């Protein structure tokens, strides 16, 4: 017979050996519990860009940027910006460009840091929608806003301009006070008809069966 000690638990005549869990397992369990709240605060505490959804959206946008060949070279004009303001998948590309290049001056939500607030209705160098693309492309304020034409391709400028245009009126919390002058609202985005289900757009991700 085994000399291993037994517990006092007996269930229908079945006895239980007293085999405690290894110490390393107990400590791993305790460390996991301690780690959980820090993990939750980092990934699910509300900080932009850290959640699984945000990480997925950034990866999706990066993948979409590889598909620029499908839309050709865009024009830096108002109709083009309006068209892409109505395309959520391409706005994510514009958001990715913004977060990669613009947050140090304008903040993650466009609230403004060194650069002006992009979420109110006052603008310093913009009167019409196309001016957003022009400012990004050529710069403004005697270099305070650098030109990005030597670092971004035209399509990226159009898409980030469309994304910036959608930030208007969001009034991000903690933003810089208004600067410049109030201007007329943007025209309504140009929504294009969706393709029929049997002929989806090439740049649309589909799930495997």
Q: Both 22 and 117 in a single domain?
A: no
pLDDT given for residue 61 in this prediction: 64
* CB-based contact 68:155 (threshold 8 Å): yes
Asked if pLDDT for residue 34 goes beyond 50, the answer is yes
User: Is 180 a residue whose pLDDT tops 60?
Assistant: yes
Determine, yes or no, domain membership for 201. Answer: no
Q: Classify residue 199: in a domain, yes or no.
A: no
Q: What's the angle, vertex CA 117, arms to CA 148 and CA 76, rounded to 5?
A: 35
Q: In this model, does residue 200 exceed pLDDT 50?
A: no
Cα 133 to Cα 170: distance, rounded to the nearest angstrom: 20
pLDDT value at 193 more than 80: no
CB atoms within 10 A of CB 61: 21
Q: What is the pTM of this model?
A: 0.64
Say if residue 25 is in the same domain as residue 124.
no
Residues 34 and 64 in one domain: no
Average pLDDT over residues 75-103: 92
Is residue 104 in some structural domain? Answer: yes
In a domain, 139, yes or no: yes
Amino acid 205: pLDDT: 45
Query: What are the pLDDT digits (tens) for 125-172?
Result: 999 999 999 999 999 988 889 999 999 989 999 999 999 999 999 999
76 and 145 belong to one structural domain: yes
Domain range for 24 is: 6-44
For residues 167 and 83, state if they share a domain.
yes
Q: How far apart are CA 21 and CA 107, in angstroms?
A: 50
In-domain check, residue 116: yes
Residue 159 sits in the same domain as residue 72: yes
Both 11 and 86 in a single domain?
no
* Same domain assignment for residues 152 and 63: yes
Same domain for 70 and 117, yes or no, is: yes
Q: Tell me what percent of the residues of the chain surpass a pLDDT of 90.
A: 53
| pLDDT of residue 57 exceeding 80 | no
Same domain, yes or no: 11 and 109 = no
Does 119 lie in the same domain as 26? no
Q: Give a yes or no: residue 209 inside a domain.
A: no
Q: What is the mean pLDDT of the chain?
A: 85
Domain count, the chain: 2
Q: Is residue 158 part of a domain?
A: yes
CATH number at residue 100: 1.10.760.10
Residues 70 and 169 in one domain: yes
Q: Tell me which range, 41-45, 89-93, 132-136, is most confidently predicted by mean pLDDT.
A: 132-136
Residue 188 is assigned to a structural domain of this protein = no
């Amino acid at each position: 017979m085994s000399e291993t000690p037994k517990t006092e638990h007996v269930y229908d005549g079945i006895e239980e050996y007293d085999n405690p869990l290894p110490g390393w397992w107990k400590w791993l369990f305790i460390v996991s519990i301690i780690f959980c709240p820090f993990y939750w605060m980092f990934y699910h505490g509300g900080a932009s860009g850290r959640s699984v959804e945000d990480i997925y959206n950034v990866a999706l946008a990066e993948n979409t940027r590889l598909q620029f060949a499908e839309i050709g070279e865009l024009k830096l004009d108002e109709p083009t910006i309006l068209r892409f303001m109505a395309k959520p998948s391409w706005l994510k590309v514009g958001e990715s460009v913004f977060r990669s290049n613009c947050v140090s001056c304008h903040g993650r939500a466009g609230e403004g840091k060194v650069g002006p607030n992009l979420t109110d209705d006052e603008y310093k160098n913009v009167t019409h929608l196309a001016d957003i693309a022009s400012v990004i492309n050529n710069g403004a304020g005697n270099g305070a806003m650098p030109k990005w034409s030597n670092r971004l391709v035209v399509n990226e400028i159009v898409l980030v301009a469309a994304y910036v245009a959608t930030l208007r009126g969001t009034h991000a919390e903690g933003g810089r006070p208004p600067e410049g002058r109030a201007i007329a609202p943007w025209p309504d985005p140009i929504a294009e008809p969706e393709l029929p289900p049997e002929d989806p757009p090439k740049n649309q991700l589909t799930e495997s069966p």
